[in-house]
Amino acid sequence: MGFIIGGLNTVFFYPGILGDTFQGIVTVLLSYSNLIMPLMAMGVHYTIIKFFSVYQEKIEKDKFLSIALILPLLVGIPVGFLWNNIQDFIVANFLSDENKDIESYTIVIYIVSICCAYFEVFYAWSKVHLKSVVGNFLKEFYNRAVVLILLLSVSFELITKSQFIFWLTGFYILRTLIMMYYAFKVYFPKFTLSLPKNYKEIASYSLFIIFAGSAGALILDIDKVMVTGKEAFSAAAYYTVAVFIGSFIEAPSRALGQILQPLTSKSLNENDDAEVDSLYKKSSINLLVIGGLFFLLINCNIIELFKMMPKGYDQGVFAVLLISIAKMYNMFLGNNGHILSNSKYYRVTFPIGIGTALTVYFLNVLFYRKIDMSTDGLALATLITVFIFNTIKLLYVHFKMKMNPITKESGITLLLILIMFAGFYFWDFNIPEIKLWGLPIHSFINMILKSIIIVCLYIYLILKLNVSNQINAIAERLRK
């Protein structure tokens, strides 16, 4: 539901109500916040997942959670005092002259980044108790629903476009407070300044994992930041829409990841390699099957979808394809990232994170600024970076832990996705042009009819080929 509302916001309401310039401003502010957030969080949200299940006594759990609340302040407070200098640096070095008017909103970057950091800390707090539903609702649905309400408020002239940004910031603060209340309701510790026995290991892990945690956000958010260093905010808006549509296929992975993360950590802490391997293979094939369906629905309908949007957004067709391929490769890896970051090999995430950051930055410079491939170059840089470093992670887990997600069923699923993509991408129903209030209704009808055929054929073949025991079991249960 969150992604459906987010899709409506990004594809229709943002462009129609805020316009591409203000959509670009909001995009850039949130992108900067996402880039800074992992540093603010100090990797604590990953640290909680890894270490909480290690402690058996309440006093040690309380010591651990107390220090988890303090660590983000070690960065957040100094950054707050220095924020005027930091925002001047951002405006002077990363924004083109025509985009300097964002300066009056840059405090939003600091507030949202620290709110998101503590939100992730409290979310991890509840996840280790296997309570992920409320946090997932707040993360995936709440923000998008709030944006929809605020956009409608702008449309009805209840608030201005400038007020939209500050109201949105206020709702980020409220979300963090709700998550804090729920986390304390799940488990309320006795606060202490005493350090847990393994505090050195905790500090070391937190520092190493910062870069692993920031790599995912960096890959996509640095693109949007770089756009505004060269082009107007409208270009960032166009690219944001392409990224959102391409990233839509990752929705099941994000939800499943909230469950897989604590389960993987628990199995690794108990040295249950068989369970880790089972989670690895199951997560890979099931996410590949679901991601494959979303991949087909998006890319086989993308041209018709962009016909329904304002002029300018259609330049993202190729970017959507590249981003969605990258996201599908992420899904194919299943819980690979959770295995690495929660195992004894977690230190490898540091060079991988650094390598990811440098690679995506220099490829962006090459494709976007030097070769001038427009935003397609940013998407290509993302795909190449994801392919290189996902492959490294895949091989590392294979050779170090003797596990990999590749099965015969993986090959069958990939071949099916490729054949159906080739069959449906270049074909559409020949429907006469119909317009209602300026909207091309014939494009919408085409998308609906084509999607029905794709869904029915894909599900039938997936069940017939028996590539996933879990999906077949669900289908059998529904049939009965």
Q: What confidence score (pLDDT) does residue 36 get?
A: 86
Examine the pLDDT at 216 and tell me if it is beyond 70: no
* 58-81 and 107-127 helices, crossing angle to 10°: 170
Q: Give the structural domain span for 100.
A: 2-479
Better-scored residue on pLDDT, 435 or 148: 148
Label residue 172 by pLDDT band (50, 70, 90).
very high
More confident residue, 414 or 427: 414
Position 437 scores a pLDDT of 64
* Burial (0-12, 13-18, 19+ Cβ within 10 Å), 92: exposed
More confident residue, 200 or 146: 146
pLDDT value of position 213: 62
If pLDDT is split at 50, 70 and 90, which confidence band does 95 have?
Answer: low
Residue 338 has pLDDT above 60, yes or no: yes
In this prediction, residues 252-256 reach a mean pLDDT of 78
Lowest mean pLDDT among 15-19, 149-153, 402-406: 15-19
Query: For 22-41, how does the pLDDT look when each residue is reduced to its tens digit (9 = 90+)?
Result: 888 888 888 888 888 888 88
The pLDDT score that the predictor gives to residue 100 is 62
The pTM (predicted TM-score) of the whole model is: 0.80
User: Which band of pLDDT confidence, cut at 50, 70 and 90, is reported for residue 168?
Assistant: very high
| Residue 247, phi-psi category: left (phi > 0), alpha (psi -120 to 50), beta (remainder) | alpha
Question: What is the average pLDDT score of the chain?
Answer: 86
Distance (Å, rounded) from C-alpha 394 to C-alpha 340? Answer: 10
Give the mean model confidence (pLDDT) for residues 119-139. Answer: 89
The vertex-31 CA angle with 250 and 210, nearest 5°, equals 80
CA angle 52, 56, 61 (to 5 degrees): 50
pLDDT of residue 217: 62
Whether the Cβ atoms of residue 225 and residue 31 lie closer than 8 Å to each other: yes
pLDDT digits (tens, 9 = 90+) for 63-80: 888 888 888 888 889 988
Instruction: Express each pLDDT in 270-289 by its tens digit.
Output: 889 999 999 999 999 999 99
Question: For residue 204, what pLDDT band results from cuts at 50, 70 and 90?
Answer: confident
Tally of domains in the chain: 1
pLDDT given for residue 426 in this prediction: 86
Residue 245 has pLDDT above 70, yes or no: yes
